[in-house]
Structure 1
């Protein structure tokens, strides 16, 4: 049991799997490994984040006239990628993946439900109209339970996983990515992601290690 470490599983949802609305490359291949890791119950706290967007979310290309998915705009003074409609509240694609036994999860944190603000990280939303990044409350929840270290897995490696682990480090947690239990939107991003993790001092580990 990792008594002072928490496991954070980011957005393991059908819409991010092959055939989904915003598919990550080989995203389905992490599902068996995450299920096995949860069944081992090696972490005192386990959190699952869940992308949970209203139908007219500001990050959807469909809400912006003459814009296409994966185009970038400036939103509140910061770059914003426009995405295909995905993880719409109460749709099958937004559910936690049904092939995983989620009974070991202590907290399900829904994010991205503010129609005017995107939310990649499990710890803080993206920049909003007032210029700040509001907290989701996750850091306080973990600290109250004695966690000072996090291991992060899920989707997508180059977006929501990366932002989550970077915020964890910035908020004072020791932070690691379970590399084999993440997948990117596109594999071309992996070198940049690895370098960002290395520079920040975030650990890159494998789930087969002694967790």
Structure 2
């Protein structure tokens, strides 16, 4: 198999101190960085995704419901929308940004700077399997992994390299992922 590592939305905006923090976000950033550095040889390609909101419409709200609307986060061009500083040495092969003008949870809704969608970039590299890590497990990791599986990629979520918005949402996401054939494994398995 030709496997890619997809690092989803590991950005300060989703970590402690950010606009939409996930508990454990900074620890996930550190763990993803260490894992990628130690295991880069397992992957034909490393891809990153970023929320990169310009004007996402009703995705942002002053009175968010935290289901369909959220406080402003991942603001394009701000330091909190950049990749987390822990990933400074990651040197991804592919970087996509998503959500410029609409809500976007899946990394497969993103494009690189030349406008190429993630699915095309993976296909061009001959990728047929992916490991998905990052933030948040219950939202963008879940959506990215489900889309990868739908595209016919053998998909795993490395459960110790992600964190959910809440324990309940994390459990629901893992149940949905498993029901759709996504493998839930630890990075040391």
- Equivalenced residue count is 183
Aligned partner of 1:128 in structure 2 is none
Aligned partner of 2:94 in structure 1 is 107
Give the 5 Å matches for 1:1-40: 4-40=2-38
Q: Partners of 2:66 and 2:185 in 1: how far apart?
A: 32
Look up the SS of the partner of 2:137 in the other structure. Answer: coil
Q: Does 1:69 align with 2:64?
A: yes
How far residue 58 of structure 1 moved from its aligned partner, in angstroms, is 3.1
Q: Partners of 2:117 and 2:30 in 1: how far apart?
A: 29
How far residue 193 of structure 1 moved from its aligned partner, in angstroms, is 1.4
Q: What is the Cα-based RMSD across aligned positions, in Å?
A: 1.8
Look up the SS of the partner of 1:195 in the other structure. Answer: helix
How far residue 101 of structure 1 moved from its aligned partner, in angstroms, is 3.2
Give the 5 Å matches for 1:152-171: 152-171=132-151
Deviations 1:12-66 (A, max 9, x none): 000100121001121111122111122121211000001100156431013xxxx
Higher Cα Rg, which structure: 1
Give the 5 Å matches for 1:5-154: 5-40=3-38, 41=40, 42-55=42-55, 57-62=57-62, 68-70=63-65, 81-113=68-100, 115=101, 117-124=102-109, 137-154=117-134
The 8 Å contact of residues 98 and 109 in structure 2, kept in 1 or not, is answered as no
Q: Partners of 2:167 and 2:116 in 1: how far apart?
A: 29
Q: Which has the higher strand share?
A: 1
Look up the SS of the partner of 1:104 in the other structure. Answer: coil
Runs of 4+ residues over 4 Å off in structure 1: none
Which segments of 5 or more consecutive residues in structure 1 lack a partner in the other structure?
A: 63-67, 73-80, 126-134
Look up the SS of the partner of 2:162 in the other structure. Answer: strand
Greater mean alpha carbon deviation, residues 5-14 or residues 25-34: 25-34
Q: Does 1:174 align with 2:169?
A: no
Q: Which has the higher helix share?
A: 2
Look up the SS of the partner of 1:194 in the other structure. Answer: helix
